[in-house]
């Protein structure tokens, strides 16, 4: 096969940032994706309906001319989140999900939740109205090894929350372990997971072997190869609980290439090529549409996108090593393999 036409895809986990960075990265996603679930971890975070409206309007203003891209907004859950404001934001169609960051787990998560009992009334209301909770699934306990933080989170935090709040619809974001794959497979219809592009193609050796590679560092950090293989098997399985959320997370090179550099891989530019290459190598191109264009929308109870996207196979694809954002540059994810599929204009 050298040509594939599918329904237009959705990116169910994306960081667009704000200001110059927003204007630089939005076209990279809007070129191929109809919709994206936009993460609220700005500084300060997007906590209220009013803030989500203002952020949505800034995104719409930054949209390339002629693009019909639609941002799906989220609220950042804090211990002070107002239930009524959240419900109104959902019922008006403004927001699609609420994001839970354990306090201190990742980039810009200082306002996240430390005491989970404080957010129980909010979670109960979300279960009642069917508003999904997107979860950054890592414990922040400094005594837990960073490679174990996702698996420990399932046992210590996520499973207790789901038992405590029956009917809560949860998306475990950017899963990185076979433990998470198994947990989601067993979780019933109220549980799903996003998988990123980069976690499908790199393992921790890419970050650490032969010299440290800051552009492969993200959170949750990539794990050993057996875990990557579990993610690939989930992504190509045709199981509707697993769908794409790229977690494309731009940081200026100046912020990544430091003694203490930021976490995040910027994959928006070449995500479609990477995914097509991977699915083809797994003999699973017929499963790509479900993973990127069908299951995510179905979980969020959104209508499927109307348009189509065509991928064609040919000579190795080229893409810029970095994109300019104001005076800064954002390095594009290097999949460490030749890519042959490009999106037809
Ligand atoms: C994200 C970011 O930069 O905002 N970073 C990352 O490594 N994935 C935050 C997140 O999703 O954890
Ligand atoms: Zn993210």
pLDDT in tens, 272-313: 999 999 999 999 999 999 999 999 999 999 999 999 999 999
For a mutational test of ligand 1's pocket, the pick from 138, 247, 248, i.e. the residue with the most ligand atoms closer than 8 A to its C-beta, is: 247
Q: Which of 211, 69, 100, 221 is nearest to 165 (CA)?
A: 100
pLDDT tens across 218-244, in order? 999 999 999 999 999 999 999 999 999
CA distance 34 to 308: 10
Per-residue tokens: 97:
């999900």
- List Cα–Cα distances, 26 to 16, 281, 320, in angstroms: 6, 29, 16
Q: Which of 33, 31, 39, 28 is nearest to 10 (CA)?
A: 33
- How much is the pLDDT for 155? 98
Q: Which residues contact 51 (CB under 8 A, 6 or more apart)?
A: none
- How much is the pLDDT for 199? 99
Calculate Rg over the CA atoms of the chain.
19
Please check the confidence at residue 175 and state whether its pLDDT lies above 90: yes
Question: For position 188, which CATH number holds?
Answer: 3.20.20.140
DSSP labels, 159-172: HHHHHHSTT--EEE
**Residue 325 is part of which domain span?**
3-343
Residue range 139-164: mean pLDDT, rounded:
97
Residue range 121-127: mean pLDDT, rounded:
98
Cα 240 to ligand 1 centre (Å): 24
- How much is the pLDDT for 310? 98
- How much is the pLDDT for 1? 83
Please state the atom number of ligand 1 nearest to the C-alpha of residue 136: 12
DSSP labels, 130-190: TPPEEE------TTS-GGGHHHHHIIIIIHHHHHHSTT--EEE-S--SHHHHHHHHTS-TT
Q: Which of 89, 92, 69, 66 is nearest to 77 (CA)?
A: 89
Cα 334 to ligand 2 centre (Å): 18
Please state the atom number of ligand 1 nearest to the C-alpha of residue 173: 11
pLDDT tens across 101-118, in order? 999 888 888 889 999 899
68 phi, psi to nearest 5 deg: -105, 20
pTM above 0.75, yes or no: yes
- List Cα–Cα distances, 216 to 209, 220, 228, 275, 337, in angstroms: 11, 11, 14, 17, 14
Task: Give the closest ligand to the alpha carbon of residue 41.
Answer: 1
- How much is the pLDDT for 39? 98
Burial of 249 (0-12, 13-18, 19+ CB in 10 A): buried
Q: Which of 4, 1, 20, 33 is nearest to 267 (CA)?
A: 33
- How much is the pLDDT for 110? 84
The reply to whether omega before 220 is within 30° of 0 (cis) is yes
**Residue 344 contacts residue 310 (beta carbons within 8 Å):** yes
**345 carries an active-site annotation:** no
Task: Give the closest ligand to the alpha carbon of residue 21.
Answer: 1
Task: Give the closest ligand to the alpha carbon of residue 107.
Answer: 1
Domain count of the fold of the chain: 1
Q: Please, what is the average pLDDT of the chain?
A: 97
For a mutational test of ligand 1's pocket, the pick from 219, 250, 333, i.e. the residue with the most ligand atoms closer than 8 A to its C-beta, is: 219
- How much is the pLDDT for 108? 84
């Amino acid at each position: 096969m050298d040509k594939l036409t599918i329904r237009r895809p959705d990116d169910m986990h994306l960081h667009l940032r704000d200001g110059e960075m927003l204007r630089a990265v939005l076209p990279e996603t809007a070129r191929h994706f109809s919709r994206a679930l936009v993460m609220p971890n700005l500084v300060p975070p997007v906590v209220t309906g009013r803030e989500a409206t203002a952020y949505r309007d800034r995104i719409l203003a930054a949209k390339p001319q002629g693009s019909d891209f639609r941002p799906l907004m989220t609220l950042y859950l804090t211990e002070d989140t107002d239930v009524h404001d959240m419900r109104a934001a959902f019922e008006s169609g403004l927001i699609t999900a609420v994001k839970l960051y354990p306090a201190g787990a990742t980039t810009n998560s200082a306002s996240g939740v430390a005491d989970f009992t404080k957010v129980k009334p909010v979670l109960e209301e979300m279960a009642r109205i069917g508003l999904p909770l997107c979860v950054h699934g890592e414990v922040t306990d400094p005594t837990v090894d960073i490679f174990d933080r996702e698996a420990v989170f399932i046992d210590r935090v996520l499973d207790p929350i789901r038992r405590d709040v029956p009917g809560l619809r949860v998306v475990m974001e950017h899963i990185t372990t076979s433990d998470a794959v198994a947990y989601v497979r067993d979780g019933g219809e109220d549980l799903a997971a996003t998988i990123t592009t980069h976690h499908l193609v790199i393992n921790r050796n890419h970050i650490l072997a032969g010299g440290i590679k800051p552009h492969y560092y993200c959170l949750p950090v990539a794990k050993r190869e057996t875990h990557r293989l579990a993610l690939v098997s989930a992504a190509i399985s045709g199981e509707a609980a697993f769908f794409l959320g790229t977690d494309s997370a731009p940081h200026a090179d100046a912020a990544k290439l430091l003694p203490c550099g930021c976490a995040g891989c910027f994959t928006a530019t070449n995500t479609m090529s990477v995914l097509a290459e991977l699915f083809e190598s797994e003999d699973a191109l017929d499963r790509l549409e479900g993973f990127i264009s069908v299951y995510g929308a179905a979980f969020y109870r959104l209508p499927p996108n109307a348009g189509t996207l065509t991928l064609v196979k040919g000579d190795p694809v080229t893409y810029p090593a970095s994109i300019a954002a104001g005076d800064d540059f954002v390095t594009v994810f290097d999949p460490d393999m030749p890519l042959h599929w490009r999106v037809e204009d």
